[in-house]
Structure 1
């Protein structure tokens, strides 16, 4: 992929969203088409100019993409559908980039869309008796991990709660976010405990929504006379899965460490170069651990990094989850990874009104999904 991106540049030229929200009666088709139309308008493209569409969804069922996109017109384009749990949208974006980087297509749509589903997992159908009734529940795993960090590293309830305060505050400035209300430290700590020490305001909401991104090649950018100043370059795309790790090292943390390092190496940059990071913070403990794993700060310094404001939009060294993250913006699964790319694109363009991180040039989008898998992308502002 590194060779492909060097030989054939991939740009994000259009982004669109349907605001994330709680489950409603709105059909998924309406959610998805709003995001696609907004992305087409943003790129100044017409639907027939899109050559391929990759749809990421985790709960809609088979053929969701074609059923939805035919309402824009039956143009004969290629339609793919991908499911990769929380990383479904990230995987759709990766496949769209690969199609352009390989030279097969010049204009590709990556779309994430979902409605709240039944949550059935393949792990519950593998024919093996579970260790416990909750052994496949992510919330339980992260609550146990949080307790371990509190015991071994001195992490406190306030340390975890500050992540939620920051991300709810960012989401309050994001018109596409599911939660639009800033929260105080006291409110986060006083919200009902869900499992262990994780309170409700430290856990991401599930719901529905859509996000769309259009990627093009250098040839497509010129041929269609698209605005180069608003094009954001994709420098790296990496996908991997969990592997055996040394005893005592949480496998997910190692997965984030290795996958982000691979993406940064592919882009030719180091963690300290990053201005923006959108990462998987389904639970507050994750952001602290993954900020360290990515290398934004040293191991054991994640809580202090947040506490001193280094992860803030205003005045921070590297803004972590300026969209509000999964905790504040929401986590409808299919759209989440594409929504990260849309947020990063706004930031790198300087168009994130009300939550703009000053001088943003380089960004990392990182998602994990059940299984466990990781998908990471590095993007750069035009001219970087």
Structure 2
């Protein structure tokens, strides 16, 4: 078999999922990750439609279910805590929801014994020739691989090296989001609660880990901000300034933010590209097709994309260019639908909540209800 040694950049969801499927297809994957270990914190992530089938074929669906948040509906209140509407869980939690850290732990445990993981390192250069790719790293000697996969997120280092500056592909949707752990001080019972705070600001709190914890999610509108993505204290100051003076439970959340050790702060952006591959380099997940967290389908895209990419590589029997093209063609319409859906959510995020009937209709008619939405090949 040709093209057997494949370097994957990123140990989030897409990278380990691809490593699993590549091993199943007879390839030798190596995963490089700039963090020192699988990353903690982050969103609750959900699975829908074909992604549930992928988890089942990976043999981890039961393990994922055991970690399920079992979140129920979410209440929307005003700044005095008065009920406005109820958001059905099907809108934001899909068919199954878990904390992202639980998912990445499961994927890492599934793959670590058969996959080489290189933590605390990242790619600095990719030099392709007729026989493969010579990859340089921040630490250690260069190594040769047959193919390179960028599964390293919205700010993909692989994309920057192989395709050019982030600015060409990142499209800011005018919103920032902060997520961090807090106590379940609202006594939420497998449920969430959200509040429209004022123009350009909204907050959500949802229970996690059998109601023993909670996660706060703060959104605010802003043009692109200039800040150090490695400076957590600077990010906390930015968030605190945005919500200073707000009511509801914001003063309590800002105190918890100041003490938090798991802050995840990100612009809400999408990635759009004319092509997801160039030569022996291909992109996966948010690196090429980020729909933003507001789509509710980023994790599903990562899992489905990993399944398709590995399957197409095996089917193409060495013709990696044909495999890359087929993988992209199968996923393009799915990504387009998800990105369009996220754009609709952006328009609603800071507006007065719609009538209950609108939320109920959204829950009853997700895109996955259409059998033509996405059909997985059986490799």
Q: Which has the higher strand share?
A: 2
Flag the structure with larger Rg.
2
Which range, TM-score by smaller chain? under 0.3
Relative to the length of structure 1, the TM-score reads 0.24
RCO (CA 8 Å, sep 6+): is it higher in 1 or 2?
1
